[in-house]
Amino acid sequence: MNAQISAGTNRTSRRRIVVIGAGFAGMAVVHALRNSDADITLVDRNNHHLFQPFLFQVATSILEPAEIATPIRSLLHELSNVRVEMREATRIDLRRRAVLMNEGDPLAYDILVVATGAQTSYFGHELEWSQHALGLKSLGDAVAARNRLLRAFERAELEPDPMKQARDMTAVVVGGGPTGVAITGTISELAQRTLASDFRNIDLRKARIVLVQAGPRLLPAFSERHSAYAARALEAQGVEIKLGAPVTDVDATGVTVGGERIEAATVLWCTGVEGVPVARALGANVEPNGTVAVLNDFSVPGHPDCFVIGDAAHVVGRDGRPVPGLASVAQHQGRYVGKVIAARLASATPPKPYETFTPSKLATISRHVGVAEFRGRSITGYPAWLMWGLLHLRSLSGGGHAKFSILANWARLLVTYRRSGRLIVEPSELVGRRKRPEVAEDTSTETSNVVVLRP
Amino acid sequence: MNAQISAGTNRTSRRRIVVIGAGFAGMAVVHALRNSDADITLVDRNNHHLFQPFLFQVATSILEPAEIATPIRSLLHELSNVRVEMREATRIDLRRRAVLMNEGDPLAYDILVVATGAQTSYFGHELEWSQHALGLKSLGDAVAARNRLLRAFERAELEPDPMKQARDMTAVVVGGGPTGVAITGTISELAQRTLASDFRNIDLRKARIVLVQAGPRLLPAFSERHSAYAARALEAQGVEIKLGAPVTDVDATGVTVGGERIEAATVLWCTGVEGVPVARALGANVEPNGTVAVLNDFSVPGHPDCFVIGDAAHVVGRDGRPVPGLASVAQHQGRYVGKVIAARLASATPPKPYETFTPSKLATISRHVGVAEFRGRSITGYPAWLMWGLLHLRSLSGGGHAKFSILANWARLLVTYRRSGRLIVEPSELVGRRKRPEVAEDTSTETSNVVVLRP
């Protein structure tokens, strides 16, 4: 197998560092090592670094993909010691120090950083539920969710059957965390404010938007006061909230929640994450949710040359609970591991043990309402939304162009409720070329007088 | 069958006007009839009006879909007498005055306007060629073309086999008209300027970009001088131009042009259009290319209540040749037919017979080079590009937000060659959820020591 292991194009004596995943954690490691004397290979299955905190705004037509994602190559093109490979790591061979790929030769490493992040978990029902309840982890997920929601409203406008029409006008969001709360609020605004006046047959002010939370309150990571505030804010927008209501079934036409059946054309799954499969390959130290338990320096016990960071790592904070899967946390870990690796490359003394930090909590509820716990202070309403928006915008890596573009979209939304991105777009390649109508498509009972298409 | 024919939700004595197609022609008709005493139903299979002249810039990552497309509903939401239906007209029953749809009941009309536009024609090889040579008529086409081009370059970066690598670095554009010329120029700039410095293994300055034209010169609708100018400008950018070279075969790995085989991972089809099938249903007056011959007032001979306009109509200009398929021409026809219908509704005297006009010819070649024939004057270079950009931008219907956004993108491109939209995005729903890696994917010859994924 060694023969299969490529050392990259420039086979040198320099150390080979492989980073899997170009999320916040992986990018932070690479930037921390930008001046190191090593050959760095960054592997990702996508060609872009995604700013996940704004993903729900793409799903709800507020922002466009290009505003929250940047090509990895353009972010790193000045780092001459970094190579970017767009392919998917499928396996890790710790013994041989090689990463196996979905295509092409395995990649040999001297030092490996696994920053593969998390993926949507359906709690064991992936096969049955994932096709009906759309996750929200990638740009593809967001575009799919947008297409489904907009298509459902278009169908409702044409639907003569009141039952089906009601179903097409119902959206269920599963998960009462920050993402679930944010997307629920923006969906209800999309229906009631942005779209309502565009339809003639249906009244989208009557669209049914349901937020389902298995636990006893929304935003469980926040204070009870903020949970209550978020619930009030959403209910004021006409959102139905179901607490203590676990999902027991999902199918093409709706969900079953706490024994109650809800007919819904759109179901979004914003609860439950798990480690990405490749991280599970690290074996013994894998938690039930697929994350990997690591040592103080984020290395895998028994494998000092293999680090796991970000959502892929199981890290416990001061409060004894796993640290939240936030961008700031992932970046903090990435920068630290970058220092660890740099010290090792220089045979210098390693940095002092990692200290977890308590990130400020920010959540947005709707167009200009949020809650925040910032340096011990509790903030709600517009100030909290503003803080959410500006703090995130600051850390957006898309550069000035994207930042400005996002600000322009937000400003317009604040003033007019208008959203530009309400497009249903599907790459022709995937849909297949629109086939020509056939005579067989004739829906009339009597065809003699019907003009028939030429073959 | 009459029972099947719905008169729309509000069954009234008002005349029912059905417009098929929300392109430039169809939108012009609807706007011309905005104050008419009639119920207008606009049917389109997409939810957006597309500004086709800029489509090639979406395919080449300069612009984003939301910048050149606007939801039909938001464009028309103030027109209270207009209903929008997102579905596809499959058949027209002239006898019964009904339009049959891909879903739902047929739509009855008193007056019908067919503005279904044109679709890519593969000259009888649709089944074999369309999947390999991507057309460029819809947003889905543009996104598919962008994905394919960017994927090919990503593969090339990883490809050890020089033959396959060269193929992945080759793009062939078929068709030397304005679209083919424009997209060829922007692809070569994308490869040589925007992307080159982002790759480590491949040198995209050496990317092979080929423009294939069956006829003897590029831009046949322009003067010979402009054809030569365009050819020189493209060749100065390193584009290969093949004139008098008809395509005889297309497959997954390349094309055969005038007996020569060109290995190419990306083949774009920018030649040949034909009427959309539903227009063919109008039978006797259909030209070989699927367009419909019409009378002076754009009505179908023998069917004064059925009008065909835009690319779907076969209209001959003063020069005895079919009028070009330009936005300005389609809008001009739409406004005229709007007057015809308005006069008929008011039982007034119809407007004087339609007079074709000679639109100014504008073509863009690359970032800031173009050719124009404008009011008899011949312009080349940057002034022509500027005229192309500003004249088109003026007629963009996206509103100030989109216009400004486009200007910002162009300005940045002019100054830095940077493009924001270099994202490979495919809706998860269509690609299917990324399946978990299986042990079967192991590419090693010996697996005993390979850490195996947990089931």
Q: Could you tell me which chain B residue has the CA closest to the CA of A160?
A: B104
Q: Could you tell me which chain A residue has the CA closest to the CA of B406?
A: A405
Query: How far does the CA of residue B231 sit from the closest CA of chain A (Å)?
Result: 30
Judging contacts by C-beta atoms under 8 Å, the chain A residues touching residue B450 are 91, 93, 95-96, 100
Residues B48-74 have pLDDT tens digits of 999 999 999 999 999 989 889 999 998
Residues A55-105 have pLDDT tens digits of 999 999 999 898 899 999 989 989 999 999 999 999 999 999 999 999 999
CB pairs under 8 A between A and B: 290
What pLDDT score does B246 carry? 94
Q: pLDDT class for B400, splitting at 50, 70, 90?
A: confident
Least CB-CB distance to A143: which of B91, B102, B425?
A: B425
Residues B254-302 have pLDDT tens digits of 999 989 999 999 999 999 889 888 887 787 788 888 999 999 999 999 9
Over pLDDT 90: what percentage of chain B?
70
Q: Which of A10, A416, A424 to mutate to test the interface with B (most CBs of B within 10 A)?
A: A424
Q: Do B277 and A453 touch (CB under 8 A)?
A: yes
Query: How far does the CA of residue A42 sit from the closest CA of chain B (Å)?
Result: 12
What pLDDT score does A358 carry? 82
Q: pLDDT class for A297, splitting at 50, 70, 90?
A: very high
Q: Do A134 and B1 touch (CB under 8 A)?
A: no
Q: Do A402 and B420 touch (CB under 8 A)?
A: yes
Taking residue B116's Cβ as centre, other Cβ atoms within 10 Å add up to 31
DSSP state of B215: S
What pLDDT score does B398 carry? 62
Q: Could you tell me which chain A residue has the CA closest to the CA of B450?
A: A93
| H/E segment holding residue B380 | strand B377-381
Residue B391's nearest CA partner among B323, B328, B317, B333 is B328
Least CB-CB distance to A441: which of B9, B90, B148?
A: B90
Residues B165-194 have pLDDT tens digits of 999 999 999 999 999 999 999 999 999 999
Query: How far does the CA of residue A250 sit from the closest CA of chain B (Å)?
Result: 16
Q: Could you tell me which chain A residue has the CA closest to the CA of B282?
A: A451
Judging contacts by C-beta atoms under 8 Å, the chain A residues touching residue B104 are 158, 160
What is the complex's ipTM, to 2 decimals? 0.88
Query: What is the overall mean pLDDT for chain A?
Result: 88
Judging contacts by C-beta atoms under 8 Å, the chain B residues touching residue A45 are 434
Q: What is the 3-state secondary structure (H, E, C) of chain A?
A: CHHHCECCCCCCCCEEEEEECCCHHHHHHHHHCCCCCEEEEEEECCCEEECHHHHHHHHCCCCCHHHHEEEHHHHHCCCCCEEEEECCEEEEECCCCEEEECCCCCEECCEEEECCCEEECCCCCHHHHCCCEECCCCHHHHHHHHHHHHHHHHHHHHCCCHHHHHHHCEEEEECCCHHHHHHHHHHHHHHHHHHHHHCCCCCHHHCEEEEECCCCCCCCCCCHHHHHHHHHHHHHCCCEEECCCCEEEEECCEEEECCEEEECCEEEECCCEEECHHHHCCHHHECCCCCEECCCCCEECCEEEEEECHHHEECECCCCCECCCCHHHHHHHHHHHHHHHHHHHCCCCCCCCCCCCCCCEEEEEECCEEEEEECCEEEEHHHHHHHHHHHHHHCCCCCHHHHHHHHHHHHHHHHHCCCCCCCCCCCHHHHCCCCCCCHHHCCCCCCCCCCCCCC
Judging contacts by C-beta atoms under 8 Å, the chain A residues touching residue B418 are 74, 401
Residues A90-99 have pLDDT tens digits of 999 999 999 9
Q: Do B71 and A429 touch (CB under 8 A)?
A: no
Q: pLDDT class for B432, splitting at 50, 70, 90?
A: low
Residue A173 has pLDDT above 60, yes or no: yes
Residues B10-44 have pLDDT tens digits of 445 799 999 999 999 999 999 999 999 999 999 99
CATH number of B126-271+361-416, picked from 3.30.1360.80, 3.50.50.100, 1.20.140.10, 3.40.50.150: 3.50.50.100
Q: Which is more confidently placed, B184 or A9?
A: B184
Over pLDDT 90: what percentage of chain A?
70
- Give the fold, CATH level 3, of A2-45+87-121+274-359: FAD/NAD(P)-binding domain (3.50.50)
Residue intervals in chain B for CATH 3.50.50.60: 2-45+87-121+274-359
Q: Do A198 and B281 touch (CB under 8 A)?
A: no
Q: Do B453 and A9 touch (CB under 8 A)?
A: no
Q: Do B402 and A408 touch (CB under 8 A)?
A: no
The pTM of the full predicted model, rounded to 2 decimals, is 0.89
Q: Which of B20, B41, B47, B136 to mutate to test the interface with A (most CBs of A within 10 A)?
A: B47
Q: Which of A122-131, A383-392, B369-378, B398-407 has the lowest mean pLDDT?
A: B398-407
Query: How far does the CA of residue A33 sit from the closest CA of chain B (Å)?
Result: 18
Judging contacts by C-beta atoms under 8 Å, the chain B residues touching residue A99 are none
What pLDDT score does A451 carry? 30
Q: pLDDT class for B305, splitting at 50, 70, 90?
A: very high
Find out whether B345 and B37 touch, Cβ atoms under 8 Å. Answer: yes
What pLDDT score does B3 carry? 41
Q: Which of A70, A444, A446 to mutate to test the interface with B (most CBs of B within 10 A)?
A: A444
Residue B213 has pLDDT above 90, yes or no: yes
Residue intervals in chain A for CATH 3.50.50.100: 126-271+361-416
Please give the average per-residue pLDDT across A293-313, as a whole number.
95
Least CB-CB distance to A420: which of B160, B402, B431?
A: B402
Q: Do A47 and B154 touch (CB under 8 A)?
A: yes
Residue B182's nearest CA partner among B2, B389, B376 is B389
Residue B449 has pLDDT above 70, yes or no: no
Residue B45 has pLDDT above 90, yes or no: yes
Rounded distance between C-alpha atoms, residue A116 and residue A279, angstroms: 7
